[in-house]
Structure 1
Amino acid sequence: MFRPNIFATLVATTCLSAPAMAQDMPGEGTTVRPIIGLIAEEMFQARVLFSALEDLGYEVAEPQEVEIQTAHLALATGDGDFYPAHWETLQSAFFDESGGDDVLERVGPFIEGTLQGYLVDKATYDAGVTSLGDLTDPDVAAKFDANGDGSADLAGCVPGWGCERVIEHHLEEYGLRDTVTHNQGSYNAIMADVIARHENGDPILYYTWTPYWVSGALVPGEDVEWLEVPYTSLPDGVEAETTFDGKNIGFAVDNIYILATDDFLADNPAAAKLFEVAQIKINDISAQNKLMADGADSSDDIDQHVADWISENQETYDGWLEQARAAAS
């Protein structure tokens, strides 16, 4: 069971009629197979959905935890029913490669206004390094050299993620191959090194996204600043809005959708409506991610965060369930 313990107790009543039970629990008898990514900080919003599905009578199977591209392919091959963390623009290639609209549907948005981009420490930004294009100058790039090879060390994207395609495209498009090294691997481990360098007073250059704990540890506008890019250029000719707070940050200002199979949505109108109306504010997710970064990161901790969020947003949460039940009646 994925529901936090506070929601696990169901009060039985013998006077409840079978039709009323069916109306309240339209998912009863159906097992839902979620697929999730390997980012622990995405579990919070996923478990909010799991809790709502269980309140609708569905049984939620143990989530399959896989890489992002694999999650899309697994839905297309029928190995799962939904994936709650699909970035509409960033992961559009994964969507298309997995059959696109012929087999899958983006439902939502679940989370609005997500950001990605490149940041540098505020001191270096204030000294004049304000654009990714500035790094074509070897002297500027050398400011961010962490290993002595003369090139800027960019703390970048996990291999296989959608951001990898964009960063690699930018390095080519903006002529940065000779002056910037894209460091990849375990993102949290790489960022731990970046934060240590910042605490030591060294210049830093990194990629990140929101919502995520990094922007709580290195606060934009206080510790770091977003870099602009010379002009918008995204892989495969994708066109998107890339301006945030007056800056062209180079990545689409994106929305996160719940990606589900057409068959599952057609067979489960209550779940389909839930996916359509459920929405969590990005600041709520960032706040929960910060709790995890501060040490409250166990599975039980996340369950408690889910319980707390539902309690604090009970009217909204109950509204999701009401609309989902109505869709199934």
Structure 2
Amino acid sequence: MTGLKKTIPAIAALALLGSVAMPAMAQDGPGAGKTIKMAQATWDTGWFHAEIYKQMFEELGYTVEGPTTLDNPPFYQAVGYGDVDLWVNGWFPIHDTYRPAFEASAEIIGAVAAGGALQGYLVDKASAEKFEIKTLDDFKRDEVKEAFDRDGDGKADLVACPPGWGCEVAIEDHLTEYGLKDHVNEIKASYSASMADAVAAYESGEPILFYTWTPNWTVNELKIGDDVVWIQVPEEATDENAAAGIDGCVADPCVMGFEANDIVPVANSGFLEENPAVATLLKSASIPLEDIFAQNAAMNDGADKPEDIKKQASEWISGNRDVVDGWLDAARKSAE
């Protein structure tokens, strides 16, 4: 444990070499003279809201280091140790597996987006109809595997999640539980690159199978209900595992295999106690999912450089100035 604790700061220090901390706002505020060590997730669809929160912290007078890009395991260990103060890229309950690493000294606080983060498996609509695909179990059928086998290994290709992501563990569990390891090949390379390849395959008329989540640029590129459909995991629907009214699912209610997640900040508890303005802001602030969708689509269209994301975040703040000022005013008052 001691060796791990020494490793985490080294990881963060290396990552910070490539980042430039923005100067604190000229105005006085509860964060004047203080620094936030901020992290962000490896999935770029979460960088927009990370940048929005960073800029709001700066308006409170804080200097923000980072955000340092970290995989889930090192982040949750680092925030537990206090080597990193926070991020706004928690996904729960899918990140529940990391609770033992942080919950004794860090906490979930507030919500960037509550309950709207769906995730599951999708198939192009034409293939779902042609092969009557309803659940993952259909990928045990030879004709389905052959149609979705793009690398010639005899298995259906599934765009899955890179190592270290919470969804990687969930997908592995599904394929094992449902006896699909001999029938489905998981593609665990860079998610964005793998999905770009899948989109190109779809546009060439090839069948595709992929995991995704919302908000995500994939559902702007491949419209759910028109281009692709949610399929189910092979379980009988119950009140506990099924969700009604999911647009674009092959069944209603839909057994997606994943609960709807909250996108949430996770912060070190000691840091929050010392910085009530940050705690108040995290409890108050949120970002509409449709705004995250729109930014993710723009990013996928090429506006994906760090300066683009900073501009998108600042424009969002400007466009929501009244509500943002309300959050900031409450944060300032809490520190008095």
Q: Settle same-fold status: TM greater than 0.5.
A: yes
- Residue 207 (structure 1) aligns with: 211
> Deviation of residue 170 (structure 1)?
0.4
One-letter amino acid of the counterpart of residue 291, structure 2? D
Quick check: 1:76 aligned with 2:50? no
2-structure distance, mates of 1:232, 1:30:
53
- Residue 283 (structure 2) aligns with: 276
CA contact (8 A) 2:125 2:225 kept: yes
* 1:301 paired residue among 284, 304, 308: 308
* 1:99 paired residue among 82, 99, 102: 102
> Deviation of residue 312 (structure 1)?
1.3
Map of 1:1-329 to 2, 5 A cutoff?
10=26, 21=28, 25-96=29-100, 98-100=101-103, 102-112=104-114, 113-127=116-130, 128-231=132-235, 243=243, 245=246, 246-329=253-336
One-letter amino acid of the counterpart of residue 209, structure 2? L
CA contact (8 A) 1:242 1:253 kept: no
> Deviation of residue 110 (structure 1)?
1.3
Change over 3 Å in CA distance of 1:240–1:42 after alignment to 2: farther
1-structure distance, mates of 2:230, 2:279:
37
CA contact (8 A) 1:107 1:275 kept: yes
CA contact (8 A) 1:152 1:179 kept: yes
User: Which is bigger in relative contact order (C-alpha 8 A, separation at least 6)?
Assistant: 1
**1:207-236 superposed Cα distances (whole Å, 9 cap, x missing partner):** 111111111111111110011112289xxx
Change over 3 Å in CA distance of 1:87–1:9 after alignment to 2: closer
- Shifted more, 135-144 versus 306-315: the winner is 135-144
CA contact (8 A) 1:241 1:253 kept: no
Change over 3 Å in CA distance of 1:36–1:174 after alignment to 2: same
Give aligned pairs, total.
Answer: 307
> Deviation of residue 80 (structure 1)?
0.7
Change over 3 Å in CA distance of 1:39–1:99 after alignment to 2: closer
CA contact (8 A) 1:2 1:50 kept: no
2-structure distance, mates of 1:92, 1:241:
17
CA contact (8 A) 1:242 1:251 kept: no
> Deviation of residue 38 (structure 1)?
2.0
2-structure distance, mates of 1:264, 1:9:
21
Change over 3 Å in CA distance of 1:76–1:242 after alignment to 2: farther
One-letter amino acid of the counterpart of residue 120, structure 2? G
CA contact (8 A) 2:25 2:59 kept: no
> Deviation of residue 40 (structure 1)?
2.6
CA contact (8 A) 2:73 2:98 kept: yes
CA contact (8 A) 2:25 2:61 kept: no
TM-score (normalised: structure 1): 0.88
One-letter amino acid of the counterpart of residue 43, structure 2? I
TM-score (normalised: structure 2): 0.86
> Deviation of residue 154 (structure 1)?
0.7
Change over 3 Å in CA distance of 1:31–1:242 after alignment to 2: farther
One-letter amino acid of the counterpart of residue 165, structure 1? V
> Deviation of residue 9 (structure 1)?
7.1
CA contact (8 A) 2:85 2:268 kept: yes
- Residue 249 (structure 2) aligns with: none
Change over 3 Å in CA distance of 1:111–1:232 after alignment to 2: farther
CA contact (8 A) 2:22 2:63 kept: no
**1:292-328 superposed Cα distances (whole Å, 9 cap, x missing partner):** 1111111111111112111111111111101111211
CA contact (8 A) 1:31 1:60 kept: yes
**1:117-165 superposed Cα distances (whole Å, 9 cap, x missing partner):** 1100010122311211212223322221111222111111111111011
SS of the residue 1:34 aligns to:
strand
CA contact (8 A) 2:48 2:312 kept: yes
CA contact (8 A) 1:3 1:47 kept: no
CA contact (8 A) 1:138 1:151 kept: no
> Deviation of residue 240 (structure 1)?
7.0
One-letter amino acid of the counterpart of residue 303, structure 2? A
2-structure distance, mates of 1:303, 1:290:
16
CA contact (8 A) 1:106 1:258 kept: yes
Change over 3 Å in CA distance of 1:69–1:242 after alignment to 2: farther
